[in-house]
A = this chain, B = another copy of it.
Amino acid sequence: MTDQPHYELYYWPSIQGRGEFVRLVLEEAEAPYLDVARLPEPSGGVKAMMKLLRDDGGGLAPFAPPFLRSGSLVISQTANILAYLGPRHNLAPAGEAGRLHAQQLQLTIADLVSEAHDTHHPIASGLYYEDQRAEAKRRAASFVHERLPKFLTYFERALSHGKAEHLVGSSLSYVDLSMFQTLSGLHYAFPRAMAHLAPAIPQLLALSDRIAGRSRIKAYLASERRLPFSEMDLFRHYPELDQ
């Protein structure tokens, strides 16, 4: 490592999950960071992450990963981490109105992501998918037919306003990066539903393509730092849930 200050990201080492929203911002910003749980023990690894989670750190311990260490700060909750990083790396609107709007969109993305997760875990995150398969099928049907179109056409409207280049403000923000990640995950998990929805969300899909084509994001996606999608992750492809 160089001697410039760096961030420490703490997240599960084998999945994209919610940590990926933070990784994408750090990669686009070219911010130096350590993905701590993916480093070797004893300074890295899941053990190092669990130690910080259990340590009450002045009553400031996170409830769950991801969390980010920046100097003496330990910041958790994905949207909160992005609200911290965005303005520091020119990835958030400059004014108060824009920042509030960015957080509003980010928190709505977080709601969509949680609902996508709950399609395969509608009963308990502590149980296997196989133990809640019947319930998952019912929940996924409601997600695919009602919730997913409602969320995505909402974001399409937000994007279609004005110049349609960015979800908020006049330049790239963490919200655009999060939308890219969300659409990527939805395409992986629900290819049929997304193909069906495509004609209704042309601007969102074009935004996602633009993000994927940005030089730093493109390099990141091609690197080993980008973990593959899988059925251990937040977005899972179970064909029976994509009807």
Cβ contacts A to B, 23 pairs, < 8 Å: A56-B161, A58-B161, A59-B157, A59-B158, A59-B159, A59-B161, A60-B158, A62-B104, A77-B107, A77-B108, A80-B100, A80-B103, A80-B104, A80-B107, A83-B103, A114-B114, A118-B118, A122-B135, A124-B139, A124-B142, A126-B142, A126-B146, A135-B138
Q: Is A75 an interface residue (CB 8 A)?
A: yes
B123 and A104 form a contact (CB under 8 A): no
A126 to chain B: closest residue by CB: B146
- 8 closest residue pairs by CB, A with B: A59-B161, A124-B142, A77-B107, A63-B108, A80-B103, A77-B104, A59-B158, A123-B138
Q: A59-B159, A59-B161, A126-B146 are in contact. List 12 more A-B contacts (CB 8 A).
A: A59-B162, A61-B157, A63-B108, A63-B111, A75-B100, A75-B104, A76-B104, A80-B103, A122-B122, A123-B138, A123-B139, A124-B146
| Total chain A interface residues with beta-carbon distance under 8 A | 45
Q: Is A97 an interface residue (CB 8 A)?
A: yes
Contacts of A126 in B (CB 8 A): 142, 146
A100-135 contacts to B (CB < 8 Å): 100-101, 103-104, 107-108, 111, 114, 118, 122-124, 126-127, 132, 135
Contact with B along A85-111 (1 / 0, CB 8 A): 000000000000100110110011001
Q: Is A184 an interface residue (CB 8 A)?
A: no
B73 and A97 form a contact (CB under 8 A): yes
* Residues in A lying within 8 Å of B, measured CB to CB: 56, 58-63, 72-73, 75-77, 79-80, 83-84, 97, 100-101, 103-104, 107-108, 111, 114, 118, 122-124, 126-127, 132, 135, 138-139, 142, 146, 151, 154, 157-162
